[in-house]
Structure 1
Amino acid sequence: MILLSFDIEEFDGPREHGVDYSLEEGMKVSIEGTELILDVLKANDVRATFFCTANFAENAPDVMMRILDDGHEVACHGVDHFEPKETDFERSKEIVERICGITVTGYRQPRMFSVVESEIKRVGYRYNSSLNPAFIPGRYMNLKTPRTWFVKDGVMQIPASVTPWFRFPLFWLSLHNLPESVYHWMVRRVLKKDGYFVTYFHPWEFYDLKDHPEFKMQYIIRKNSGQDMVKRLDNLIMMLKRNNHRFITYNEFVDMVNDK
């Protein structure tokens, strides 16, 4: 089973490097990237889960409707991606549900910051995917947390996939920088061990960051961005389909686990 997801947020990378960059400029980048993502998914006839900030939903309601019309799941990803607050999970749920006319059941905190699971449950989320249990110094140094799904305070936790050995992360940055054959091999190893694979990407990765030195983005982020990343995502999906893996939403995964 493949739990493919995208953190649909306003592009704020330049602001992290001290660049004066507006919400409007960030939305332009992310809207273009999201449309490219949706095109790839539609061409391959697969579904995914889109974790959307309230900022993005409010400024791109037409894109939100396309996400739903294409059969994908919409989940929440805070309010303002650049300045996440611990209480955003409640406000983002209210905003995204109002704009989309649906009930949202999943949450991921911006930058994978921690949240209080008891509060997540209180406002009506079924699952939380705000954990990257990797061996990376900083906020991704989570060696003591479970590597696969678990339940905490009544909320299912769905961590991003890492390799069984060394906990090497298989998130977006890995696909940018590793040879595709190596990344694909690692993904297959995780699937053989765990029976499912969880990963995530962002819309701005599919924008050609290499053509914008004024953004001051790091080389490891610019590498293979734009159409190169479109192709890499397409290749990953096709490899997984050739190996007869099924793409499901996070909410469907929760249902499957609960039905066992």
Structure 2
Amino acid sequence: MVLLSFDIEEFDMPLEYNGTISFEKQISISQTGLERILDILKKHNAKATFFSTVVFAEQSRDLIHRLLSEGHELASHTWFHSDFKEEHLKESKDRLEELFSTDVTGLRMPRMMPVSKNAVENAGYSYNSSINPTFLPGRYNNLKVSRTCFKEGNVTQIPASVSPNFRIPLFWLSFHNFPLSFYKKLASDVLKKDQYLNIYFHPWEFAEIKEDAFKLPGFTVKNSGRAMVERFDEFIGWLKNKNHSFGTFQEFQKQTES
């Protein structure tokens, strides 16, 4: 099973690099990207899971209603993308459920930040996908964490996929910067070894984000915008031609725990 997921959030990454971007622009760029993602998924009849901040969801209700109506799953990306308090775990879950009348059972922390396993369980989540089990300088070192899903108390941990050999991450940056043929080889290796593939992206990758004011490093914007739309469309088509199925995290959890 292929687990496609998208962290839908305020596009605040320029602020990490001393760039400038208004709140309105943060939201509109992510909304543009989300529309393009939903169009591709609809074209291929592929299901996905969307981890949303409350801030983005409140500003984008029509798009959230659309993704739910098209069979996708809504999960929590906490309340804000750049500010976190432990109480946001439960508060974001409750608010998303209130806004959209759907069961929110999953969590992904912004920027894959570490979070107390007890706090996640106490907030009522049944799964957490906040671990990239690799080494990324300046961000995290999770080389000793299981590559594949595991139970921690009553919460299922579903790490992002990395290659069986050398733990090469298959997250969004790899997708943008590796030759697509090499990325497909890594994805095939993971699917053969683990029987599932968990990869994640962001809406702003599918929008135009090369403005000088953003001051983003070249490796973050390579193959973004329309190039990303075409690249992702080709990749999903390739997976379909290989007869791989697409499912939500909720579906995957039910399947693995049945």
TM-score (norm 1): 0.97
Point out 4+ residue stretches in structure 1 off by more than 3 angstroms.
Answer: none
Contact 1:135 1:166 in 2 (8 A): no
Measured in 1, the distance between the counterparts of 2:46 and 2:104 equals 20
> 1:147 maps to which residue?
147
Contact 1:131 1:159 in 2 (8 A): yes
> 1:158 maps to which residue?
158
Shift of 1:208: 1.8
Q: Which amino acid aligns with 2:43?
A: A
Measured in 2, the distance between the counterparts of 1:113 and 1:86 equals 12
Within a 5 Å distance, the mapping from 1:84-99 to structure 2 comes to 84-99=84-99
> 1:234 maps to which residue?
233
Contact 2:21 2:213 in 1 (8 A): no
Contact 2:148 2:194 in 1 (8 A): yes
Q: Which amino acid aligns with 1:207?
A: A
Cα deviation digits, residues 153-203 of structure 1 (max 9, x gap): 220000000001111000000010011000001100111111100000000
| Overall identity of the aligned pairs, in % | 49
Contact 1:118 1:154 in 2 (8 A): no
Contact 2:57 2:64 in 1 (8 A): yes
> 1:220 maps to which residue?
219
> In the comparison of the two structures, how many residue pairs are matched?
258
> 1:197 maps to which residue?
197
Unaligned runs of 5+ in 1: none
Q: Which amino acid aligns with 1:197?
A: L
Cα deviation digits, residues 129-159 of structure 1 (max 9, x gap): 0000013223331011000000112200000
Cα deviation digits, residues 82-111 of structure 1 (max 9, x gap): 223333211111211111111200000000
Q: Which amino acid aligns with 1:163?
A: S
> 1:2 maps to which residue?
2
Cα deviation digits, residues 37-84 of structure 1 (max 9, x gap): 000000111100000000011111111101101110000001110223
Contact 2:190 2:196 in 1 (8 A): yes
> 1:106 maps to which residue?
106
Measured in 1, the distance between the counterparts of 2:178 and 2:120 equals 35
Measured in 2, the distance between the counterparts of 1:214 and 1:228 equals 21
TM-score (norm 2): 0.97
Aligned Cα root-mean-square deviation (Å): 1.0
Unaligned runs of 5+ in 2: none
Measured in 1, the distance between the counterparts of 2:85 and 2:183 equals 33
Measured in 2, the distance between the counterparts of 1:85 and 1:134 equals 25
